[in-house]
Amino acid sequence: MTRRVSGPLLAIGGAEDKTRDRIILRRFVELSGGDEARIAVIPTASRIQDAGDQYRSIFGDLGVDHVDVVDIRDRSDANDDGVVERLEQSSGVFMTGGNQVRLARILGRTRSAETIANRNRDGVPVAGTSAGASVMSTVMVAGGQSGPTPRQKMAKLSRGLGLIDSVIIDQHFTERNRVSRLVAMVSYNPGLLGVGIDEDTAALISPDGVIEVIGRGSVLIVDGSRMQSDIENVNGATPPTISNAVIHFVAEGGRYSLDERNVVPQN
């Protein structure tokens, strides 16, 4: 049921430390080959001009000489031979924050998206922060309200890049009340696992099907395997009853097995 990833995926909850220890970004650099890394930064989620340059500078500080900001601005860029070639040369792909719907609208099912998926299947790590994390799954969080009570209208889903099938990734858990939203989203297809990532925290999803948590906060896993709900019978505003959601808050160093659907005991 759980499709394993072939290369590592580093899903970052947004607002990662960029100036001090930078343990999350440093980990991405290591995974990408350290000093030898060739990192492609995709700033497409953001409408801010220098979103890519900021990461160029950070990865440079962390010892990476080859940082290529691949500024894909529309679907024609995303299908461009030159762009595809640049992505093929990368040993690590990093997607910035911004708006994941924008990212999916521009990249979705283009040659660039296909190339990123192929590179990842060949073992190349793909990282994304905030919108760049949400866009990784096949069905992604498209937005919607948050709040304490799950409501149908919270669950706006759309098609992501499909780097991982079995999860829905939500981010910025720290400042935005999203536990209920994630539970509501999982209730639409309880076979999916909800992964909610705090700010300055990352879920490193490895080819062996284990999620390792890195960073300051924690990662919330919502397991719907035993879930029951009446989500299809309520309207957008009325709260549903959703029972038997199993949740796990996993902190720094903790590991969660996608196959076992449980936290891996520490040695």
Q: Which residues bind a second copy (CB under 8 A)?
A: 147-150, 173-180, 183, 196, 198, 217-218, 220, 228, 234, 238-252, 254, 262-263
Whether 172 is catalytic is: yes
Nearer to a second copy, 157 or 247 (CB): 247
Catalytic residue among 146, 172, 180, 229: 172
Least distance in angstroms from the C-beta of 136 to a second copy: 20
Least distance in angstroms from the C-beta of 256 to a second copy: 8
Nearer to a second copy, 7 or 196 (CB): 196
Catalytic residue among 130, 134, 180, 218: 130
Nearer to a second copy, 33 or 239 (CB): 239
Please, are residues 78 and 72 in contact by the beta-carbon 8 Å criterion? yes
Nearer to a second copy, 33 or 143 (CB): 143
9-12 and 201-205 beta bridge pairing: antiparallel
Least distance in angstroms from the C-beta of 253 to a second copy: 8
Whether 248 is catalytic is: no
Closest alpha carbon to 164 in 203, 214, 201, 199 = 203
d(CA 13, CA 128): 9
Token pair listed for 1:
């049921």
d(CA 108, CA 120): 16
Least distance in angstroms from the C-beta of 83 to a second copy: 37
Residues in contact with 267: Cβ distance below 8 Å, sequence separation at least 6, in sequence order: none
Whether 130 is catalytic is: yes
Query: In the beta sheet, which residues pair with residue 169?
Result: 195
Token pair listed for 156:
């706006």
Active site residues: 130, 172, 199
